[in-house]
Amino acid sequence: MESNDLVNQIRARFDHESQKRILREKYEAAMLFAHEGGMWRAGPELQITLIACQEDEVVLKDLYENPVKVRVSDLLQLSQQRWQEQMNAWLSEYENLLQRR
Amino acid sequence: MTSGVLIFAFDNADIDYVGMAAWSAGNIRRHLDLPVALVTDREPPSGVFDRVIVIPAGSNAHDRWFDDFNKCVTWHNTDRCDALALTPWEYTIMLDADYVVASDTLLSLISAKPCLACHSRTIDIARPHTGDILPVFGRYNFPQWWATVVAFDHSSYSQAVFAMWRMVRDNWQHYRDLYGIADTLFRNDIALSIALCAANGHAIPNVSIPWTLKSIMPQDQLQRLGPDSYRLDFIDKKQRNRYVELTATDFHAMNKKSLGEMIVTKR
């Protein structure tokens, strides 16, 4: 590393806005999961759809718009678990970010 | 069904692509637990890759300007369309040598196995508010997909895409004229984009990987803080020195000089 780069690096300030967006992109990717050969995004939209299902075995379109037969209770549990885990991790990183000034 | 990663790496006088691929193979095993095959033009050090496919590099080189080196560098990039024929895996994730795996995000592709998937959205990590990088190409604003990460099986759609990709490569001037592409240099991203739509009956296919590709631009400086933690120094639009940190986040390091130095020095 050249001395100019080193000086610039020492002077550099943490960019909160970009870091917030990076966190959002990171956790939006972490919400995705595969189940029964389909790709799903954990979150309220999927969970409300699943809660609205009358039967325990239904066919839903995954993110690639392919029909996938799923057991509602299994997919709901996976979605809720992943959503809560990742939202908690997001919150934890976000709170650490707010403390950095 | 066998699954694995495929990396193309052809060294030149300035960039040690095989070294990048070797470093990446370690990250891939750690996070994805997948075997790694390398396509290259000479035997790499033994024990680093699970499979090595040696092909001649002589006919596929051209010179390209690299901002981070501030000069033209010889670049071998025209063999990607042969990936389906070369891959030893039944389901493959083809990665650029400069794609840094720092999480298990790609595993969802291995589990879901879409017949073909690649990124349609990519952002500049340092300037995410500026929107997507090159969302379209050519005179007619045709949508662009990225060849940085391509997951594929051996289905008829994948075969059609790779055959079409090869046809675009072999007739680059014709497709430049057809789509109004200013760039004289062959680009895999554009060839892949044309192939994806052509193989889908000239309709927009639903093949996008459902998260954004995060990219580091050539002018920005990358530094390793820990095993999966990186610092990115950049100059913002007001010409101020700024930095962000990346933890457990995959990214595409377009600054090959910075990535190469980081790997060599293991800072």
Per-residue pLDDT tens digits for A51-101: 999 999 999 999 999 999 999 999 999 999 999 999 999 999 999 998 876
**The pLDDT of residue B267:** 44
Helix, strand or coil, per DSSP, at residue B129: helix
- Write out the two tokens for B51: 């499979």
- Write out the two tokens for B241: 């020195």
A30 touches chain B (CB under 8 A): yes
B185 located within any domain:
yes
A13 touches chain B (CB under 8 A): yes
Which stretches of B67-176 are assigned E, i.e. beta strand? 71-76, 91-95, 99-100, 116-119, 122-124, 136-137, 142-143, 146-152
Domain residue extents for chain A: 24-99
B141 located within any domain:
yes
CB contact at 8 A, B22 and B45? yes
Chain B residue with CA closest to A19: the answer is B244
Mean pLDDT of chain B: 90
User: Could you tell me the residue range of the domain that residue B42 belongs to?
Assistant: 3-214
Contacts A61 to B, Cβ<8 Å = none
B227 located within any domain:
no
Q: Looking at residues B179-188, what average pLDDT do you find?
A: 92
For residue B67, name the pLDDT band (cuts at 50, 70, 90). Answer: low
What is the CATH classification number for the domain harbouring B178? Answer: 3.90.550
**Which residues lie across from B215 on neighbouring strands?**
B124, B252
| Structural domain count of chain B | 1
Q: Other C-beta atoms within 10 Å of B200: how many?
A: 17
B78 located within any domain:
yes
CB contact at 8 A, A8 and B242? no
| Lowest-confidence pick of A4-13, B50-59, B90-99, B215-224 | A4-13
**The pLDDT of residue B140:** 92
**What ipTM did this prediction achieve?**
0.86
Rg (Cα) of chain B, in Å, rounded? 18
Q: What is the pTM of this model?
A: 0.91
- Compute the Cα dihedral for B130, B131, B137, B142 and give only its sign: negative
For residue B127, name the pLDDT band (cuts at 50, 70, 90). Answer: confident
B91 located within any domain:
yes
Q: Looking at residues B53-59, what average pLDDT do you find?
A: 81
Give CA–CA dist B26/A53, Å, rounded: 44
Looking at the partner chain, which of B109, B123, B240 has a beta carbon nearest the beta carbon of A25? B123
- Write out the two tokens for B82: 């042969």
Q: Other C-beta atoms within 10 Å of B183: how many?
A: 11
Give CA–CA dist A81/A77, Å, rounded: 6
> Is residue B89 over pLDDT 60?
yes
